[in-house]
Amino acid sequence: MASVTVWNEFVHEREHDAVEEMYPHGIHETIADALAERGHETRTATLQEDEHGLTSDVLDETDVLFWWGHTAHDEVDDAVVERVCDRVHEGMGFVALHSGHFSRPFKRLMGTPCSLTWRENEERERLWAIHPEHPIVDGIENPVVVPEAETYGEPFAVPEPDELVFTSWFEGGEVFRSGCCYRRGLGRVFYFRPGHETHPIYHDETIQQILANAAEWASENADTPADLDTENVTEPPESAYRD
């Protein structure tokens, strides 16, 4: 099992009563508890901590970093963004959750705007596993039904996924690539869409199992050609990234 750090900006739960009622100890604690119940070793970190709780020592002990952010993306320090991305290239897994598509680490790892269309509503979502043999969907019934969800829609400005695991359909007709797998350096990256803060998404046992599966999958290093010299890799210039 993996050593997982669950990061959350921890803003909505402290400022909005409805979110605090849904996640009284924070989204990060709910996710961490669910992963721990399924055998993973977990810790949490938040925006408000020194170095956002993501010191070099913490990341060195982290196999997979989960990231939930929404309204405070720009408050994440440059040095922390660089540290996280460096660790992914070195082999740490990274799981971006819901509005974490706009997080600075994810955008830097993708090298694209990561923009999309959205509507804040309460429509049913059907999350279809279109890669049923993938480890992330192990033991998951198809489709996963989310009774109330914020709607995301295409176009989703990310690179073509190495593997597309989930596609969502919403009552309003939108479709969206909701489970995208990437390899960055030696690290594995997974984007998972469900998780709006005013809905009980992370209390759902099926969603929790998907996250646990994702932690296990992302904890393994990406396949690397035997002749790739990972000790001497030239990084692209900072201007190549679109934060």
Query: How confident is the chain (243 residues) per 10-residue block, as mean pLDDT?
Result: 96 92 96 98 97 98 98 97 98 98 98 94 92 96 94 97 97 96 98 94 97 98 54 45 39
Judged by DSSP in three states, 233 sits in coil
Beta strands in the chain (DSSP E): 3-8, 41-46, 64-68, 93-97, 117-129, 144-153, 163-170, 175-184, 187-192
pLDDT number for residue 223:
67
pLDDT number for residue 221:
87
Which tokens go with 205? 């046992």
Reported pTM: 0.91
57 Cβ contact list (under 8 Å, min separation 6): none
Domain boundary assignment for the chain? 3-112+177-224
The conformation of residue 30, written as its DSSP 8-state character, comes to H
Which tokens go with 63? 């196999």
pLDDT number for residue 229:
46
CATH architecture observed for domain 3-112+177-224: 3-Layer(aba) Sandwich (3.40)
pLDDT number for residue 122:
79
